[in-house]
A and B are shown apart, each in its own frame.
Chain A
Amino acid sequence: MTGAQALIKSLEMEGTEVMFGLPGGAILPVYDPLLESTIRHILVRHEQGAGHMAEGYAHATGRPGVAMVTSGPAATNIVTPLCDAMLDSIPLVVVTGQVPLSAIGTDAFQECDTTGITMPVTKHNWLIQSAADIPMVIREAFHVATTGRPGPVLVDVPKDISNQTMDWYWPEAVDLPGFRPPQAPDPRLAREAARLILAAERPVIYAGGGILKARAAEALRRLAELTGIHVVTTLMARGAFPDDHPLALGMPGMHGNYTAVTAMQQSDLLIALGSRFDDRVTGKVPAFAPHAKIIHVDIDPAELGKVRRADVGIAADCRSAIEAITAAVEAELAETATVPFDRSDWKATLAGWQAAHPLAYDQEEDGPLKPQFCIEQLRDNTPDDTIVVSGVGQHQMWTSQYWKFNHPYTFVNSGGLGTMGFAVPAAIGAKVGKPDRMVWAIDGDGCFQMTAQELVTASAERVPIKVAILNNAYLGMVRQWQELFYKERYSEVYLSPDLPDYVKWAEAMGCVGLRCENPEDVAATIEKANSIDDRPVVVDFRVDYREKVYPMVAAGTSNDDIILGPAEGEGGH
């Protein structure tokens, strides 16, 4: 069998059902046996789209996303999704073509140092040296991508290796002596954590994306309910704890709600579960939660102590660690007949903040359409398990704030890298992975223009996603910063509401295009969009460009200096 056949067979052996890609010179041999394969291939219009689709697929299904592209410019085009997946811990296996081994280093046509370029943005990468190595390398690649802290990997396959013949085999196991991610938590540390939890007066669970990666949402809920501790869910953890739960505080951070931000600030114990003290959550680090002891659970030992020293640091899989802590709390309660601290004062304080400072905006009946109103209408007029995919910017923050995420794996977005243009391709990937679910991309007009051409892919492949463009004719988040921090000196942020004409553009790409300019038309427009299931739909919501995202903690300042919006009540700290 050829190396190319072995590669496709290896991908099948790893359970690959779908891959996203675009062929070209150096990967040509591998596209030939694909014709006989069970793997569905989605032909993208730009390699960046292939990467983000694979990410969306992985987000929604929990299975590794697979993408395949050729060498040179195709490989460099997929660097952004690799970096995005690295920062958000998304399991991704990317296969790239490479010029023949003998041509490497000669500046051959479409040659680039793909493994060199992608080294910092992958967990690991491989340049295959012999066709006989292919099954083992693919096996290792899937193992590394999905084991421990998930992440992207890349396999670079020279063209002559694809054409080389080899004797097929399938390795029983991988041999990676330097790859030993932590597994079970240390029971002694779980007991220490339980004692801190039972002694705390103002504890807060700080749930991060690791909860979702570890399939630990149910375990988290049990711990929260057993201990009665409130939960904040970071941007990467939205949906990991139901927003309609009485213990849910919503999103913390730069654009978190007042109660989530302030509860963390005033807490005496932060239970960080699969979260990494990102600067968008902590604000100015020395001023972050100054009185809090820290329990920190992360499967990546390097996260423990990276930003904030933990009083109890547990390097372990999030689910098994949460289960161990829960069991230790139960044991502690049973053995010592400990009465947990009476936290009624703290609960009353939290309820008071929630009542005084809810997220708020003002949609006047005859006034301009507010983006938050569109999101609330989408939320209320779609199924509860709708998968929401966002790009990056104001619309992303409003989506996280105003959607009610009651199920895990219903929010897909680019958190760490903040990749504009993520939404459309990621939504396609999510819909391919979960074809029975409604998938809405909520996008900005700036983001949409970066990757919109993938709607051609969606139309051609019959992937009926829906896209709501919150069109404020600006690079809105940049505009907000220029308004607040650059004395309203607007520099290169105006985009125009009707250039391009989004409805015509949608139609040209085989989608249905709708436009909505008035608050009273929003529900009907959404209903119309929901009724179309044979092709993608794009809705151009013309929204108020003046609307800003609040609350806000300015970059580099303390979370104590949270700025509330005009409709969100008086006075922070």
Chain B
Amino acid sequence: MPVTHHILSVLVENKPAVLTRVTSLFSRRGFNIFSLAVSPTDDEDFSRMTIVVDAESAPLEQVTRQLDKLINVVEITELSAGAAVERELMLATVRADASNRGQVTELAGIFEAKILDVGADALTLMAAGSPDKLDSIEELLRPFGITGLQRTGRIALPRIPRGTVRLAAVPESA
């Protein structure tokens, strides 16, 4: 991820139009969103947005302070790269016929990607991982011909603080 990006984890009330309120704010203040993921939390009254902000469009402090003024925004945490666990999901449809299907499945194997769909001359695979890892897979698949691609944008949570027992700090393979 380029260093000019910041990851904000934003806890919002689960109210109508809250996503619009957030994106409308970004648009009218001239802040750029690089990626955005929204999902419910364990508490049905709240949702969590993971927003990757282009830091060159505005100082991060302005972004968070303006965001904090929205009534439905409850809490904003900046997740710095070292202090957060982040993942992203990717679906990619790649040209692969009998002659090179083996190469693609081999790559999929290396990256622990799953094959979701197979046709005579294409297959769709799913990969999850850090955004960097997905960038690498995308790069390696491109020569085969990518005909469809969808990435979710990253989701992230802060790392469990020191002093708390961390049951497992599982390194990401590949």
A residues within 8 Å of B by Cβ?
Answer: 115-116, 119-120, 123-124, 127, 129, 144, 176-179, 300-302, 304-306
B42 CB within 8 Å of chain A: no
A198 to chain B, nearest CB (A): 29
B74 CB within 8 Å of chain A: yes
B49-91 interface (Cβ within 8 A of A): 59, 61-62, 65-66, 68-75
Q: How far is the CA of A173 from the CA of B127 in the complex (A)?
A: 48
Decide if B71 touches A302 in the complex (CB within 8 Å).
no
B17 CB within 8 Å of chain A: yes
Decide if A177 touches B62 in the complex (CB within 8 Å).
no
> Which residues does chain A contribute within 8 Å of B65, judged by CB atoms?
301-302, 304
Decide if A116 touches B71 in the complex (CB within 8 Å).
no
Known: A302-B62, A305-B61. A178 touches B24 (CB 8 A): no
Decide if B16 touches A127 in the complex (CB within 8 Å).
yes
> Which residues does chain A contribute within 8 Å of B20, judged by CB atoms?
116, 119
Nearest residue, chain A, Cβ from B61? A305
> Which residues does chain B contribute within 8 Å of A119, judged by CB atoms?
17, 20-21, 24
Cross-interface CB contact of B13 among A116, A120, A123, A177, cutoff 8 Å: A177
> Which residues does chain A contribute within 8 Å of B75, judged by CB atoms?
178
Cross-interface CB contact of B68 among A116, A301, A305, cutoff 8 Å: A301
> Which residues does chain A contribute within 8 Å of B71, judged by CB atoms?
123-124, 144, 176, 178-179
> Which residues does chain B contribute within 8 Å of A179, judged by CB atoms?
71
Decide if B69 touches A305 in the complex (CB within 8 Å).
no
> Which residues does chain B contribute within 8 Å of A115, judged by CB atoms?
17
Known: A119-B17, A119-B21, A120-B28. A305 touches B59 (CB 8 A): yes
Decide if B69 touches A300 in the complex (CB within 8 Å).
yes
**A115-B17, A120-B24, A178-B12 given. 14 additional CB < 8 A pairs?**
A116-B20, A119-B20, A120-B28, A124-B71, A129-B16, A177-B74, A178-B71, A178-B72, A302-B65, A302-B66, A302-B68, A302-B69, A305-B59, A305-B61
Cross-interface CB contact of A178 among B13, B16, B59, B66, cutoff 8 Å: B13
Nearest residue, chain A, Cβ from B16? A127
Q: How far is the CA of A300 from the CA of B71 in the complex (A)?
A: 13
B18-40 interface (Cβ within 8 A of A): 20-21, 24, 28
Can you list 10 A-B pairs, Cβ within 8 angstroms, ordered by A?
A119-B17, A119-B20, A119-B24, A120-B24, A120-B28, A129-B16, A178-B13, A301-B68, A302-B62, A302-B68
Q: How far is the CA of A127 from the CA of B20 in the complex (A)?
A: 14
A320 to chain B, nearest CB (A): 20
Q: How far is the CA of A155 from the CA of B17 in the complex (A)?
A: 14
Nearest residue, chain A, Cβ from B11? A178
Closest 8 CB pairs of A and B: A302-B65, A178-B74, A124-B71, A179-B71, A178-B73, A301-B65, A302-B66, A177-B74
> Which residues does chain B contribute within 8 Å of A306, judged by CB atoms?
62
> Which residues does chain A contribute within 8 Å of B12, judged by CB atoms?
178
A70 to chain B, nearest CB (A): 21
Q: How far is the CA of A115 from the CA of B70 in the complex (A)?
A: 14
